[in-house]
């Protein structure tokens, strides 16, 4: 289930001539001109967008999108008046860097049991790092002998870039690579993300990695400069979104927490109610311990990330953190039950949500005519939702 960059390309090729249609790439990365591959399923008037690996260290999001596509194909799932737009890897250069680093370690093991044990050890070390504030990060130590040499020779520009960037960061931090090939984090790549000089990532697992220079994770790019230009990958995504009418949902899949982010919200009552109901439908079939994924809401708080901007501008944007088990990129693969539950329940959640889009629209119309934008908004929607679900 851990697919490296090249394995993913073969899987994408295999979609050809099925009900998944490949279109021209949405764009190309700036260093090696890797394509941002793009597929559609169905041809209805309502559009659903599915994004994987905006953060390349969150490889489970691409595993999920691939499994979702296979499930739709194998079970011949039909939706009513829907087109689904898939971007399985929004960040191809980052995905290549991260999965080559993983491959360099996992290729030593031949059995899936050994691979799982290595991933579980990574999970335990990562977990230790999150809950302690040590200078040495145990999960990075597992990759301290890995550097830009793992990038294939036919990607010389990327190889040099990774080498330059890593020279400013701790050994082994290549395994934390969430950014693109230029060391720019594609969710932070927004003028709204303010970083101070010498500031580091907030998480204990990454607080030895600076945010103010190109880095494996967190650097927003030259966004204080008047000439700020969004990265190619985000421009590619924005060009797709701005060309689609009737967007009913944007599922931006990330990796860890078992969380549905629905904040910051648009202040429009219809928009906010629709998004919250969409979250609630998605939540129903998710599994986190004995419960469901949490929905994070907070009316009109600060906009900082690229995804925040998308949520404010388009209806139905949910950022979903898939795995209840932590440890990007491989920790969550250390437990088969976690992986299977995460993938399967999210496939069911996705299908269930899409099948209920008409209902969500109707209920939104009904509820938003009964309530006003005040602090008890979510309680009102919750109780009305319960009543309507019972009918
Ligand atoms: Zn992420």
Interval 19-55: pLDDT, tens: 999 999 999 999 999 999 999 999 999 999 999 999 9
- pLDDT value at residue 375: 64
Mean pLDDT of the chain: 94
CATH 3.40.630.10, domain 5-92+244-358, yes or no: yes
Distance 76 CA to ligand 1 centre (A): 30
Stretch among 105-109, 187-191, 259-263, 272-276 having the lowest mean pLDDT: 259-263
Distance 253 CA to ligand 1 centre (A): 8
pLDDT value at 367 more than 70: yes
pLDDT value at 5 more than 70: yes
Query: Averaged over 50-63, what is the pLDDT?
Result: 98
Segment holding 254, helix H or strand E: strand 247-256
Contact (CB, 8 A) for 310 and 304: no
State the residue for tokens 């990562």. Answer: 126
Distance 202 CA to ligand 1 centre (A): 14
Distance 47 CA to ligand 1 centre (A): 23
Phi, psi dihedrals of residue 278, rounded to the nearest 5°:
-60, -45
- d(CA 216, CA 182) in angstroms, rounded, equals 9
For the stretch 312-337, what's the b/e string if a residue is b when 16 or more beta carbons lie within 10 angstroms of its beta carbon? bebbbbbbbbbbbbbbbbbbbbbbee
pLDDT value at 138 more than 80: yes
pLDDT value at 264 more than 60: yes
pLDDT value at 300 more than 60: no
- pLDDT value at residue 307: 95
Q: What percent of the chain has pLDDT over 70?
A: 99
Domain residues of the chain, as ranges? 5-92+244-358
294 compared with 388, residue with greater pLDDT = 294
388 compared with 334, residue with greater pLDDT = 334
**Interval 153-166: pLDDT, tens:** 999 999 999 999 99
Query: Averaged over 111-119, what is the pLDDT?
Result: 97
Closest listed residue to residue 306, CA positions, set 241, 230, 242, 236? 230
- pLDDT value at residue 299: 61
Distance 59 CA to ligand 1 centre (A): 10
| 3-state SS class at 156 | helix
DSSP-derived letter for residue 288 is B
The residues with which 83 forms a beta bridge, in sequence order, are 47
Query: Averaged over 187-203, what is the pLDDT?
Result: 94
Distance 70 CA to ligand 1 centre (A): 23
Residue 53 — left, alpha, or beta (φ > 0 → left; ψ -120 to 50 → alpha)? Answer: left
Query: Averaged over 309-334, what is the pLDDT?
Result: 96
Query: Averaged over 254-279, what is the pLDDT?
Result: 90
Closest listed residue to residue 217, CA positions, set 140, 155, 159? 140
Query: Averaged over 287-309, what is the pLDDT?
Result: 87
pLDDT value at 391 more than 70: no
Distance 285 CA to ligand 1 centre (A): 22
Q: Which two tokens stand for residue 16?
A: 């050809």
Stretch among 63-67, 208-212, 220-224 having the lowest mean pLDDT: 220-224
Going from the C-alpha of 147 to that of each of 93, 117, 172, 265, 358, the distances in angstroms are 15, 23, 7, 40, 50
Query: Averaged over 87-109, what is the pLDDT?
Result: 97
Please tell me the chain's helix, strand, coil percentages from 3-state DSSP, rounded to the nearest 5.
45, 15, 45
82-87 and 259-261 beta bridge pairing? unpaired
Distance 80 CA to ligand 1 centre (A): 31
DSSP-derived letter for residue 369 is T
Contacts of 84 (CB under 8 A, 6+ apart): 40, 41, 42, 48, 49, 50, 72, 354
Distance 390 CA to ligand 1 centre (A): 35
- pLDDT value at residue 368: 83
Distance 88 CA to ligand 1 centre (A): 14
């Amino acid at each position: 289930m851990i697919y490296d960059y090249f394995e993913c390309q073969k899987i994408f090729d295999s979609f050809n001539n099925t009900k998944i249609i490949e279109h021209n790439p949405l764009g190309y990365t700036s260093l090696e001109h890797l394509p941002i591959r793009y597929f559609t399923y169905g041809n209805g008037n309502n559009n659903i967008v599915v994004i994987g690996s905006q953060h390349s260290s969150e490889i489970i999001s691409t595993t999920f999108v691939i499994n979702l596509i296979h499930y739709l194909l194998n079970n011949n799932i039909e939706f009513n008046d829907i087109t689904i737009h898939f971007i399985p890897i929004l960040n191809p250069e980052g995905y290549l860097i991260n999965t080559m680093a993983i491959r360099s370690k996992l290729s030593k093991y031949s059995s899936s049991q050994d691979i799982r044990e290595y991933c579980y050890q990574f999970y335990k070390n990562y977990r230790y790092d999150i809950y302690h504030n040590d200078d040495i990060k145990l999960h990075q130590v597992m990759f301290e002998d890995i550097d830009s040499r793992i990038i294939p020779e036919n990607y010389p520009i990327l190889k040099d870039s990774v080498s330059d960037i890593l020279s400013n960061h701790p050994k082994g931090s290549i395994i934390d690579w969430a950014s693109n090939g230029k060391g720019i984090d594609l969710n932070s790549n927004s003028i709204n993300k303010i970083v101070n000089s010498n500031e580091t990532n907030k998480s204990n697992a990454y607080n030895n990695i600076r945010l103010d220079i190109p880095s494996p994770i967190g650097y927003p790019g030259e966004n204080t400069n008047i000439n700020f230009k969004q990265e190619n990958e985000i421009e590619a995504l924005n060009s797709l979104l701005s060309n689609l009418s009737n967007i009913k949902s944007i599922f931006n899949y990330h990796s860890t927490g078992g969380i549905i982010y629905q904040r910051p919200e648009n202040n429009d009552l219809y928009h906010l109610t629709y998004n919250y109901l969409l979250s609630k439908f998605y939540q129903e079939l998710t599994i986190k311990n004995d419960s469901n994924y949490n929905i994070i809401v907070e009316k009109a708080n600060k906009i900082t990330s690229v995804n925040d901007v998308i949520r404010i501008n388009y209806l139905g944007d949910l950022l979903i953190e898939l795995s209840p088990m932590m440890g990007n990129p491989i920790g969550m693969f250390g437990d088969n039950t976690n992986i299977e539950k995460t993938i399967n329940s999210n496939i069911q959640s996705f299908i269930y949500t899409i099948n209920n889009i008409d209902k969500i629209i109707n209920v939104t119309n009904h509820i938003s005519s009964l309530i006003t934008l005040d602090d008890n908004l979510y309680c009102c929607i919750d109780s009305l939702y319960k009543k309507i679900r019972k009918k």
